[in-house]
Chain A
Amino acid sequence: MTFSRLVFTAFSRNRLRSLFTFAAVAAAFCLFGALEAIRYQRSVPGDDEDLVVVQPDGMGGMPVGYEDTILSMPGVKAAVGLTGVPGLNPKSATDQLVIFGVNAEQIPATFLGMKIAPEIAARWRETRIGVLCDERTARDMGWHVNDRVTVQLLPGMTTASGENRLELILLGTYKNGGILYGVLTRWDYLTTAFPQNNVPFNFFVRPERSGDGRALAQRIDQRFRSGVQQTLSSPISDFRESSARDAGTIRMLITGALAISFFTMVLIVANALTQSVRERLGEMAVMQALGFQERTILLLVLAEAFALFAAGAVVGLVLANGAFTFEIGGVRSNSALLPVHTVLVSAAYVAMCTLIAALLPCWELSKLRVADALRRL
């Protein structure tokens, strides 16, 4: 109790300095929280990392019968083909709202990352004009579950019944963060509305055993070598590796921003702590004269540094969570909360920064000659 009171008394000696130092720490952790969360979200393999993507070797899509052929192959747990029509996105002049046509039976087992609840999947199988939509798109569009939604098609595009729009019912939403996002309709409904649009342009295949993706991809290509359309299949991890290579400089920039930010923050705290300790050298000499051990006084400085970093980190991460959730800074996030990983790494950084920032003041304190300091009082 006395120890913690001593720590907080030290802060209240120069409230403004403490406040500004704390604010600098909070700013650095805010930046760290938001950037690290985005980096982590992009780099961590998700539930759909095992999927194999089957693409046509050339243009024109693949026959729809390929889905059954793939499903009958050994080592395949689930597979789904993807067709799609472009719709107008009322929220963007440049982005389209793609309406995918999929096999509703296969989607939940193929895209585990979507976390489609069994009751929603069952309802979807019973509702022909039912759709599922990712949480972010639903939020952007202002759609709610059970809403009747109208999707306007591109100009000049009409359904078999001559309509320029699709009337659908939103049955549920699915998690963002996977490789697929947008409006999912049932394949049988979409092909009735657009009879010419029955050619899947991709198949996604979930192998029975994790890690079998590459071998399965080769078997699929082998299987369709003499088919109407040859295929090019690869595990989704290949795409992640490729995009990670492309994003190398951006990643370096993020690391640079964090390094600079933390370096500056540690210097600011170290400087403030050193000033604070210098101002209190006499006081600390009195404490030693009264019987406080040198180790206790060093611990006091360490505790001050820790309290500053910990409080700053908490406030910074709360602010980062806000920035992350509300996508401030133009970077899209897939969840409303910072990943646990980011919070844990922050805790490690708090410990590391505490030790580094307290080094200089502790070193100065260790050189303290009690008699000299008392004489200067």
Chain B
Amino acid sequence: LSASQSLVLSWANLSSIRTRAVSSLVAILGFAGVATMLVTLLAGREAIRVMYELAGRDDVAVIMAGMSPRETSSFVPYQLLPEIARMPGIARNGTGPVISKEFVGGGPTRLLSKEPGRVGQALTSRGVTPDAFDLRRQFRIISGRKFGSGLHEVIVGRAIAENYDIRLGDEVRLSRTNLKVVGMFATNSGSAEMEIWFDKPVYDRLVMPSGGPSGTGPAPGFEPISTLWIRLAGPNGLRELNAAIAASTTDAMKRTKIHVVTERQLLSVQSHDLVERAAKAAIAVGLVMGIGALFGAINTMYAAVAHRSREIATLRALGFQSFPVALSVMSEALALSLCGALIGTALAVAVIRQLAFSVWNNGASSNITLHFAPTPGAVFIALGYVVLLGVISSILPSMRALRGSIPAGLFAR
């Protein structure tokens, strides 16, 4: 009986929302605003996670030196290369171990400024060896071609090209040398798309000229290496490689704290602070906007109860139980919040899908450009939160509806 009474009363109540159109609209707009902002902020956080945390793999690893998670702060002594290449745990192909020696400069490469008298934008650059192309997730050349070996040519990540309007044939400058952009590439992981890639021998020569300001050039045979990207040989590869590094008696291996992390671990550490900050921002803004919308909705529900006071008193006088009456008030709040949540999330998803944003990722020492990722998870969190606000907003008005005196309600104007 109670269930059928609840259904009938809720339906009757929802049918009469039209008579409270203005105050209901206020509540819907409040809820829609919260949903829009929450989806947007969560989609920003998801974008960072998609780029870093979720993109990392366990079969690709990075050998680094030192304690910092930044590749720019790591310098692997070149003398250790032969020993590392012999270590177990690294996958091998027809030509030997799958290792890409990489050198990350951290920003000395500049775009040529289109405005006279201005210095061009500094971009993160990386010298890579041929295995690098196989070690990035879904690396593909989307236009142009790869750089030629030994030539003053570079390829540019898609995100950086879109962000700074770089085109094929443009030039970038490094160490008083202009290099031609011959290709654009895309990947599905990390911040590679925010980098300019060079042929490593060319890059090494440009950034480590013989004889710098201090008057000393690099030692013969010296090769600058930030990190070694490797493919692991099967599921035990990481364990075997770690054991081999730990067992090494070479002094430089211990002194420079050589260690290996999977790509998943590296990207996760690099993005941890950024993801945390994005989540904090989403919580703070969602909470404050939610509080505002909640109080607006409580007012709306109080007004609805006041509007229906005679109807509610009549129902109670006729013997309707308290629960169906309270549920009819709650159903109205639920309907308004659901309506607002759906409008807000739909609006957010439609708008932000096309939007990109740039943030500085301190964990990777790189400026990254991301596309908002309004994942189903982000949408459901926003929907759930707004509906919860709706339910909360109906609690006090429901109590007032049930506690009011029946005679007073019957004679209410």
Contact = CB atoms under 8 A, between A and B. Distances in A.
Interface string B29-64: 110010011001100100000000000000000000
Contacts of B277: 330-331
A61 B213 contact: yes
Interface string A79-100: 0000000101000111110000
Contacts of A86: 68, 73
B67 A88 contact: yes
Given A218-B117, A242-B121, A28 B292 contact: yes
Contacts of B26: 264, 267-268, 271
A340 interface: no
A20 B299 contact: yes
B289 A95 contact: no
A318 interface: no
B359 interface: yes
B14 interface: no
Contacts of A330: 276-278, 280-281, 284
Contacts of B257: 155-156
Given A94-B270, A331-B281, A27 B206 contact: no
Given A232-B119, A330-B280, A59 B69 contact: no
Contacts of B256: 155-156
A144 B299 CA distance: 50
Given A93-B69, A154-B68, A218-B117, A249 B355 contact: yes
Given A260-B36, A267-B30, A246 B367 contact: yes
A94 B363 contact: yes
Contacts of B25: 267
A256 B357 CA distance: 14
A257 B44 CA distance: 14
Interface in B267-296: 269-270, 272-273, 276-278, 280-281, 283-285, 288-289, 291-293, 295-296
A70 interface: no
Given A58-B207, A156-B255, A267 B285 contact: no
A260 B289 contact: yes
Nearest to A242: B121
Contacts of A323: 284
Interface residues of B, number: 74
Nearest to A229: B213
Interface in A236-264: 238, 242, 246-250, 253, 256-257, 260-261, 263-264
A340 B359 CA distance: 28
Contact of A59 (B110, B173, B175): B175
A313 interface: no
A92 B272 CA distance: 11
A94 B23 contact: no
A275 interface: yes
A21 interface: yes
A263 B26 CA distance: 10
Interface string A15-38: 011001101100110110010000
Interface string B361-398: 01100010000000000000000000000000000100
A162 interface: no
Contacts of B174: 58
B94 interface: no
Interface of A: 16-17, 20-21, 23-24, 27-28, 30-31, 34, 55-63, 86, 88, 92-96, 154-156, 196, 198-199, 214, 217-218, 228-230, 232-234, 238, 242, 246-250, 253, 256-257, 260-261, 263-265, 267-268, 271-272, 274-275, 323, 328-331
11 contacts: A58-B175, A96-B73, A156-B255, A199-B213, A214-B117, A249-B357, A253-B41, A267-B26, A275-B299, A330-B278, A330-B281
Interface of B: 22-23, 25-26, 29-30, 33, 36-37, 40-41, 44, 65-70, 73, 105, 108, 110, 117-119, 121, 163, 173-176, 206-209, 212-214, 255-257, 269-270, 272-273, 276-278, 280-281, 283-285, 288-289, 291-293, 295-296, 298-300, 302-303, 355-359, 362-363, 367, 396
A-B CB proximity, top 4 nearest: A58-B175, A329-B284, A330-B280, A249-B357
